Amino acid sequence: MGRGIGEVLAFAVGVAISPAAIIAVILMLFSRRARINGPLFLLGWVVALGVLCAVVYAISDQSNAGTSNTSSDSVSWLKIALGVTFLLLARREWRKRPAAGVEPEMPKWMARIEAFTPAKSAGLGAVLGAANPKNLALTVGAAAGLGQLGLSTSAAVVSLIVFVAVGSLTIAGPVAYYLVGGEKSKGELDNLKNWLGLHNDAVMAVLFLVFGVALIAKGIPLTR
């Protein structure tokens, strides 16, 4: 079980570092339906992330990645390909970061969050949790790598639960803080939102760089 958790933990941290999603949930907590939309956003995130990693793990496990040389090599090459992609994304994010003193523009969809219905809030959580390229790649890397280990079903399930739980901490944190702190929490959440908006590109560049190198390193020793 420890091997499985160790395999997915770093990937889960990468999923948790999602500035756009954190900003989105904070904006929801500033809306009129905050006490409904915030938790539903979190629910959509958790469910989508859980379903995605379960499906990828099931496919990897069914392909006997832990015992078949061919399947194991395929997963290793997948890790290398994802790593190279992350390095390219790191370069792009670093180059498009705003110049000093320039206020970054928020995506247009964030301006509409105030008017989101509960269903749209849950849907946005699901999209940002599992359908955005960064989380999709990290989840595929984590679940496919887990399939290579040949773990028991119970150990794999626990590892996947840990992955989803850790990957959801930065979304659950603001929601829980708002529900407990109420209006008093808005000042600190607003400061966090502003900081993430200002440094989003730099944060993502560093994240992509670290995981790009890590994925390539994980894949190379296993290739034949």
Average pLDDT of 84-88? 88
| Residue percentage of the chain with pLDDT more than 70 | 90
Q: How confident is the model at residue 71 (pLDDT cuts 50, 70, 90)?
A: low
Q: Which pLDDT score is estimated for 137?
A: 87
**So what's the pLDDT on residue 116?**
92
**Does the pTM exceed 0.85?**
no
- pLDDT for position 223: 43
Asked if 18 and 207 touch (Cβ cutoff 8 Å), the reply is no
Residue 216's pLDDT band (cuts 50, 70, 90): confident
**CA 170, CA 25: separation in Å to the nearest integer?**
10
Phi, psi of 116 (to 5 degrees): -65, 140
Any residues with CB less than 8 A from the CB of 89 and at least 6 apart, and which? 134, 204, 208, 212
CA dihedral 153, 139, 165, 29 (to 10 degrees): -150
Residues 7, 145: contact at Cβ < 8 Å?
A: yes
Report the distance separating Cα 4 and Cα 204, nearest Å.
Answer: 26
Question: What was the pLDDT predicted at 158?
Answer: 94
Q: What secondary structure does DSSP assign to 147-185, as a single string?
A: HHTT--HHHHHHHHHHHHHHHTHHHHHHHHHHHHHGGGG
Mean pLDDT across 63-92: 73
Q: Tell me: the pLDDT tens digits for 54-63? A: 998 888 777 6
Both tokens of residue 15? 């999923």
Measured CA to CA, the distance from residue 174 to residue 180 in angstroms comes to: 10
pLDDT at 103: 66
Measured CA to CA, the distance from residue 187 to residue 178 in angstroms comes to: 11
pLDDT in tens, 35-56: 999 999 999 999 999 999 999 8
Each residue's pLDDT tens digit, 98-152 = 766 666 677 788 888 988 999 999 999 999 999 888 898 889 888 888 877 878 8
Separation between Cα atoms, residue 136 and residue 116, nearest integer Å = 24
Q: Are 26 and 176 in contact (CB under 8 A)?
A: no
| pLDDT at residue 202 in the model | 85
Between 52 and 181, residue with greater pLDDT: 52
* pLDDT of 70 over the 60 cut: no
- What's at 224, amino acid-wise? R
